[in-house]
Each structure stands twice: as structure tokens, then as C-alpha cells.
Amino acid sequence: MEPEPIIRLNDVHKTLGQQQVLRGITLAIPKGKMTTIIGRSGEGKSVLLKHMIGLLQPDRGEVWVDGVDIARLHAQRLNEVRKRFAMLFQSAALFDSLTVFDNVAFPLREKLRLPASEVNRRVDEKLEQVGLKGMGHKFPAELSGGMKKRAGLARALVMEPEIILFDEPTTGLDPLMAKTIHELICDMQRTFGFTAVMVSHEIPEVFSFSDYVAMIHAGVIAEMAPSGEFVKTQDPVVREFISVGGLYPVHPVSTAG
Ligand SMILES: Nc1ncnc2c1ncn2[C@@H]1O[C@H](COP(=O)(O)OP(=O)(O)OP(=O)(O)O)[C@@H](O)[C@H]1O
């Protein structure tokens, strides 16, 4: 049985500047699974993620999060819904002037105002889970690219969100480190069971680490399917796009005649 969707976009349209970026996106994100959004550069993948968390409002259409249309919410109610989310940006967006520990502690202190002993416990636990045990005293400038991503992940996880949006979380890493970070994210997703929505350019790797894959093309969802089904698509545009990652020859040899 298909898992129920936790986020549902219905006919979402968005124009930014002169560009009609989203032209009727309809998409359901299954709860507790890893869904990856692929598509060419500039197709609107980041814009789509920002609609899911209410950082952008659609010109037309609906964005349902667990039964609430966040496209119509006032700021206060929207903030309540946003507490269920974390978002991890390409850059990991760490505060350079804070240690790794203080970066991860930041949302706990700022939003939950927890006592110091509880902050220490939770931060140490998350640092250990992402492989940064004993690194809390370091500053971001002292970390490798992979360690920065781990720190960003720890900060996203520390609030124990129900939904985490990952915008190209392996940007700037070498292929081996990118694989390690993807594996870590998958491991965390399976351990904690949050809903993950990820934007990624890593083809064909996305098909091994995602439960579902969706491709955006020309402002709409060209294909959305479980990973194993997605690669069997007959849609020529989708086939051509994923062929770049070596799954199919770009010009399949015709067997006709
Ligand atoms: N705030 C904005 N104002 C004007 N145009 C914007 C804004 N944000 C995004 N765009 C435009 O919307 C389009 C989609 O951008 P988006 O960042 O979502 O693409 P993407 O698919 O994530 O690309 P990439 O894979 O390169 O990160 C681009 O043409 C971009 O220039």
C-alpha cells in the first residue's frame, strides 16, 4: 500500500521576474519516505522546495501540509507549521563565528529555550550520530567540506523535525564524499523516520538512495514514481535526462525492423 502523502501540491503556478517557473505542479510527497526531485538546472527545484515550507507563496494553486493549505495561512499559523520542518541548504549555512557545538545548539536555545544540561545532551548525541563526536569545539572554517555538511545535518536533526528538505546537500563534495553524505542522510532518515524531500543532481545515484523520484520539466512534474519504476519510464524527455547519468544510451538503438 502506498504511504499517505504528508505534503500535496495541487496545480501550483509561480512566476518569478519574467519567468513562469512553475506551471501547474501537482505532486504528493509520501510520509516517512525519501523523495528526490531531479531536473535540469534552473527548472525550479529550489523554488518548489521553498513552496513546501511556505518561503514562497504560489500565484495560483494549493500547498497542503498534513491537511492545511499553507498557501493561505497568516504568518503566525505558518510559523506553527514550519516548526515541523527543517531545511538544509547547499551551503549548510553554518554561522562562521560559532563553534560546531553552538551551531547545532542554536535552534534548541533560540526556539526551545532548553536548560543547558539538556542542550548538551541533545547536541552531543546528534554530533555523535553524524560522525562529529569530539568536534564540537571547532569553528566551521576548520572543517572539511564533508564535515560542514555533517554539522549542517546535525543542526537540521536536533529539533527532531517531521520533515526535512535538502537542497543539493552534497554540492561541492567529491563523488566519494557525496556518496558518504547521502548514505548518512539515508541512514538518519531510516533511523528517525522523518519525511525527506531532496533536490539532487546525482544521477544515477538518486535511484539507489531514494524511495521515490520526481522530475520537474517545463514547470510541471514530468514523472513521479518509486525509484525502481522511475528508471523504466517511457517518457522520452525523462529518459534522455537520466541517460546523462549513464542509465540509458542517449540514442537507444532501434530494434524495429
Ligand atoms: N527570487 C527570485 N527572483 C527571480 N527569479 C528567481 C528567483 N528565485 C529563482 N528564480 C529563477 O527561477 C528559476 C528556477 O530557479 P531554481 O533555483 O528553483 O532552479 P533549480 O532547478 O533549483 O536550479 P539548480 O539545479 O541550478 O539549483 C531560475 O531561472 C531562477 O533564476
Pocket probe for ligand 1: among 41, 43, 202, 216, the residue whose CB has the most ligand atoms within 8 Å is 43
Three-state secondary-structure class, residue 12: strand
256 — pLDDT class (breaks 50, 70, 90): very low
Assess whether the C-beta atom of 19 lies below 6 angstroms from ligand 1. Answer: yes
Long-range contacts of 170-179 (CB under 8 A, 24+ apart): 170/200, 170/202, 171/90, 171/91, 172/90, 172/145, 173/145, 173/146, 173/149, 177/145, 177/146, 178/202, 178/205, 179/205
Domains and CATH numbers, the chain: 1-27+43-68 (no CATH), 83-198 (3.40.50.300), 203-251 (no CATH)
Grid cell digits, residue 57 = 507563496
Assess whether the C-beta atom of 42 lies below 6 angstroms from ligand 1. Answer: yes
Comparison of pLDDT for 89 and 67, the residue scoring more: 67
Determine the pLDDT at residue 46.
94
Predicted TM-score (pTM) of this structure: 0.91
DSSP symbol at 254: P
Assess whether the C-beta atom of 17 lies below 6 angstroms from ligand 1. Answer: yes
Look-up of cell digits 494553486: 61
Do 71 and 58 form a contact (C-beta atoms < 8 A)?
Answer: yes
257 — pLDDT class (breaks 50, 70, 90): very low
User: Residue 103 above 70 pLDDT?
Assistant: yes
Three-state secondary-structure class, residue 195: strand
For ligand 1, atom 3, which residue shows the shortest CA distance?
16
Query: Counting atoms of ligand 1 from 1, which one is nearest the CA of 44?
Result: 18
d(CA 105, CA 107): 6
**Averaged pLDDT, 39-61:** 94
Look-up of cell digits 513552496: 51
* 16 alpha carbon – ligand 1 mean position (Å): 8
Do 36 and 195 form a contact (C-beta atoms < 8 A)?
Answer: no
- Read off the amino acid at residue 222: A
How confident is the model over 109-146, as pLDDT tens digits? 888 888 899 999 999 999 999 999 999 999 999 998 89
Determine the pLDDT at residue 255.
47
Assess whether the C-beta atom of 21 lies below 6 angstroms from ligand 1. Answer: yes
